[in-house]
Amino acid sequence: MKDLRLVIGNKNYSSWSMCPWLLLKMYDVDFEEIQITLYQDNTAEKLGPYSPSLKVPVLLHKEITVWDSLAICEYISEEILGGAAWPASPKRRASARSTSAEMHSEFPNLKQEWPMNCKASGRLKPSDALLNEIARVDAIWSCCRRKFGENGNYLYGRFSIADCMHAPMAACFDAYGAELSEDANTYMQTLLDNPFVQKWITLGRREQEPLSIAYASNA
């Protein structure tokens, strides 16, 4: 058994599981992946030994348990990566934390109308409320790229937790066919071109679970 274990749900649906998984992969951290199929009669029983909330994702590091995607990413950065997963400058770091937290806690219409589904293909017409949220994400991506993106192709130049938190949204936008500005579309494509994002989406598309079931996922 490895010291570091990440418990995730179905790759096709569990957007929040993707965030810490992507961070660990991008920083080449050795970990054991434990995937538990959601929506089953025994899902809660299987999650019980790992997750206090009976949801995913959950990080187990020796005797420490961390749940909630953003909390897990913060813990990985602080305890395993020496803080390297956030931008170095206070100004960039403050912005990265703010946009990550906004993605984590806001956009209810996006999460309800266009949930993570790697197999989706532009089937759902957005409501006006959803269009407003898409415009807000577009503004975040475009503004951050213009202000902070001079040293690389990610949201703050080099890869960070902010990109982990926004990667599931890029997958959703691509699957459902969001219309974005040029700057936002370029950033979305950067995320979609990431080899680990591509791997997650490919594996999600191979899963065979039904497509229309609510699931247990931490934020």
| pLDDT for position 210 | 62
| pLDDT for position 212 | 43
Within this chain, do residues 157 and 70 fall inside the same structural domain, yes or no?
A: no
- C-alpha closest to that of 215 among 49, 34, 8: 8
Within this chain, do residues 116 and 142 fall inside the same structural domain, yes or no?
A: yes
CATH number of residue 80's parent domain: 3.40.30.10
For residues 55 and 86, what is the distance between their CA atoms, to the nearest angstrom?
26
For the chain of 219 residues, list the mean pLDDT of each consecutive stretch of 10: 91 96 98 90 86 92 96 98 97 98 97 91 85 98 97 97 98 95 98 98 88 46
Its domain, for residue 143, covers: 90-203
- C-alpha closest to that of 1 among 75, 61, 79, 73: 61
For residues 125 and 40, what is the distance between their CA atoms, to the nearest angstrom?
30
Q: Is residue 120 part of a domain?
A: yes
| pLDDT for position 214 | 42
Within this chain, do residues 78 and 172 fall inside the same structural domain, yes or no?
A: no
Q: Is residue 214 part of a domain?
A: no
Residue where a domain stops, chosen among 84, 115, 146: 84
Q: Is residue 208 part of a domain?
A: no
Within this chain, do residues 50 and 100 fall inside the same structural domain, yes or no?
A: no
Residue where a domain stops, chosen among 34, 64, 84: 84
For 150, the token pair is: 């001079």
What is this structure's pTM? 0.93
Q: Is residue 116 part of a domain?
A: yes
For residues 178 and 188, what is the distance between their CA atoms, to the nearest angstrom?
10
Within this chain, do residues 58 and 105 fall inside the same structural domain, yes or no?
A: no
Within this chain, do residues 33 and 116 fall inside the same structural domain, yes or no?
A: no
Within this chain, do residues 151 and 63 fall inside the same structural domain, yes or no?
A: no
Within this chain, do residues 174 and 108 fall inside the same structural domain, yes or no?
A: yes
Q: What is the DSSP string of the chain?
A: --SEEEEE--TTT-HHHHHHHHHHHHTT---EEEE--SSSTTHHHHHTTT-TTS-B-EEEETTEEEESHHHHHHHIIIIISTTTTS-SSHHHHHHHHHHHHHHHH--HHHHHHS---TT--S--PPPHHHHHHHHHHHHHHHHHHHHHGGGSSBTBBB--HHHHHHHHHHHHHHHHT----HHHHHHHHHHHHSHHHHHHHHHHHH--S-SS----B--
Give residues with Cβ within 8 angstroms of 2, minimum separation 6. Answer: 30, 31, 32
Residue where a domain stops, chosen among 34, 66, 84: 84
Domain count, the chain: 2
Within this chain, do residues 101 and 50 fall inside the same structural domain, yes or no?
A: no
Within this chain, do residues 196 and 109 fall inside the same structural domain, yes or no?
A: yes
